[in-house]
Structure 1
Amino acid sequence: MELPLTRRGFLSAGALGVGALAVGGVLADTLTAEAAVPSYFDVGQSGGDAFGPVKLSEPDDGWQSMSVDQVNGRIYYSQAPNRTPGNMRISYLQGNGATISATNYMQFDNFGHGQAIGIERLTNDTYIWMECDPPAGSHTGTKFCRVKWREHDGHSYTLEEAMKLDGFEMYNLVPDSVGVCCTIDPEGKRLLIRYAPKAHQYQHHYRVFDLESVKQRKAKTLYPPHSETTLLQHVPATNSNGKPRNFQGMAIYGDYGYLLTGHEWFVGHGDGAHTQCRPPSGDKGDIHLTVFDLRTGKSKSARTTAHYTYNYREPEGLAVQLANEPRLLFGIVDEQQCATYRGNKASDKHTMSVSYKNVMSTKPL
């Protein structure tokens, strides 16, 4: 069931003018969204492979999320170093997948899971937007923070230490929420967030803020909030193994948002171990891409068979790249061999591949 949000002076989708919206008990202006991109990526059309497989800064894991620096062409990504839940290591690849020194990273301990990050580029500086401040016993954040990227940093920071860094800011946009994450549109003007009310931690919602107003601590929303349950209504509730839909990334471009969902291959279990390997039945998995209209909440979903021959094949990370043409990038983690997990340790190294969708459409969803 969709959780009814408390709101005052709700501005319905598509209406003109200025209204007001209560965000976690804090009144914020609701603005008419004016996006310059009238079309969307048709997730049901064919695309291609951008690059991969490549190894990352932390070779024991794939990334959790990615975001593109449109000025320098870099693809920043977040990993869980040493497969440690709650810790986030930020590094980057070149836009063509070329790797950078393994020591060129910034690590943030006990910040969150890193299911989405955002890149803000200002003159000569790059800022990372991400989750932070998870509650005790949790590995996902409750607040959002902005950190200035430090090239060749190679250090780990607790929240207390990060707060002393130049350019660090923290924002509590949706009080009493958990499981938060965020990303930024390619033009660097809007912040898309995912969150769940603390009392209903599995009922996630999406909201878009004007980025500059957030930085000025006068947060202004640009669209009505949307329920994840409604947006993913065209994605099967469970896969062939009975596992529920699994959020793996989000992006925003124009008046449209994008979601990535799905699981790694799963075959067999017993004695505390489970094996990921491509099923012999020819099952092509449950990885889905969803596009939704930020104004109306209408959505369209399609399964992708990208890299379905991979052994492990877990979807991780979604981003928009504007380089030579607009592309919706999505990542796929793989391993050289089928992996048997015991506890939280993998038996082999991970690699990352990135595929894309590039067919645009103006047809109503």
Structure 2
Amino acid sequence: MLQSFAFDEVHRNLYALQLTRTGQAAGDLCLNRLDYQGAFLGHMYLRGFGHGVSVGVQNESDGSVWIWTEAAARSGYGQGVTRFHFFDGAVRIGADVAIRYPIPGSTNNQPTVCMESRRLAVRYRIKGVPRYRIWDLDAFVARDYADPVADVAQTGAHPDPDVPFQGYALHGDFLYQVAGSAYATGTNPPAGHGNTYLSCLDITTGALLQRSRTEAGYSLTFREPEGLAVRRSPTPTLCLGLASGEEGARKFSVYTKNS
């Protein structure tokens, strides 16, 4: 099932991370590449990488594309981060990539990238409490973690703290969050159009700037929010991923909201 997605705006591709049906405990992921019309362009497997909470795309002037994900899964979640090139049909394990541990003592490290500001963010936990740390992308690539741009608490994602966090995206000085659960009889019925909330943090202050419930895709069956991404061109647009359909035949949809 879809967990997160990101855009390669240079080559007009979309990368989507899915948990494999039997690999949640081990952190086994499938990374898919599609075009903007949804045509399937290939996939690769990432064994023991994590839950796929976020994914980032780094474009360089030489045409190279780096994919950033969590890595080194423990209890199904990546404890470090890594980057690699996409190769259709490839299978990667932790020994195949260079894993980074940028925040000593942290767990559940999950990266994303903003190419507008050339920054990389990592969502992480210290003693179980989630936070975000943001670096200059070039400094992070050079393994210079000493001077982050910002470090702020994860706050305000949902009015109910027990509702699951489902993803985030960085764009400039703003960090967008999504939280919500799948439709469930009684607690979150389809008739209520879901409990999904979008929110925005200012990374310069850590302040919650806005939070609102979204009914996007409310007519979908199952409907679980899974990931956020910002598409920069032709105008910055916040994109929400929604999983739907029956187990074993899940689909995902991407809905847009001007940011």
State the Cα deviation string for residues 38-58 of structure 1 (Å, max 9, x = none).
xxxxxxxxxxxxxxxxxxxxx
State the Cα deviation string for residues 6-49 of structure 1 (Å, max 9, x = none).
xxxxxxxxxxxxxxxxxxxxxxxxxxxxxxxxxxxxxxxxxxxx
Q: TM-score, normalised by structure 2?
A: 0.92
Q: CA deviation at 1:285?
A: 1.4
CA contact (8 A) 1:247 1:261 kept: yes
Mapped partners of 2:117, 2:91: distance in 1: 27
Match of 1:196 in 2: 125
CA contact (8 A) 1:70 1:186 kept: no
Q: How many residues align?
A: 254
Residue 54 of structure 2 aligns with an amino acid whose one-letter code is A
Task: Tell whether 2:148 aligns with 1:213.
Answer: no
CA contact (8 A) 2:116 2:172 kept: no
Task: Tell whether 2:108 aligns with 1:171.
Answer: no
Task: Tell whether 2:95 aligns with 1:126.
Answer: no
CA contact (8 A) 1:116 1:183 kept: yes
Q: CA deviation at 1:188?
A: 6.4
Consecutive unaligned residues in structure 2, runs of 5 or more = none
Match of 2:93 in 1: 158
Residue 206 of structure 2 aligns with an amino acid whose one-letter code is G
| One of 92, 96, 100 as aligned partner of 2:40 | 100
C-alpha spacing 1:83/1:261, structure 2 compared with 1 (3 Å): farther
Task: Tell whether 2:258 aligns with 1:351.
Answer: no
After superposition, residues 30-49 of structure 1 pair within 5 angstroms as none
Larger-gyration structure (1/2): 1
Residue 204 of structure 2 aligns with an amino acid whose one-letter code is R
Q: CA deviation at 1:83?
A: 4.4
SS in 2 for 1:295: coil
Q: TM-score, normalised by structure 1?
A: 0.66
Residue 254 of structure 2 aligns with an amino acid whose one-letter code is V
Q: Which has the higher contact order (CA 8 A, sep 6+)?
A: 1
Residue 119 of structure 2 aligns with an amino acid whose one-letter code is R
Q: CA deviation at 1:108?
A: 0.9
CA contact (8 A) 1:186 1:321 kept: no
After superposition, residues 218-297 of structure 1 pair within 5 angstroms as 218-219=144-145, 220-223=147-150, 225-228=151-154, 230-232=155-157, 235-237=158-160, 244-267=162-185, 279=189, 282-297=191-206
| One of 205, 227, 247 as aligned partner of 1:317 | 227
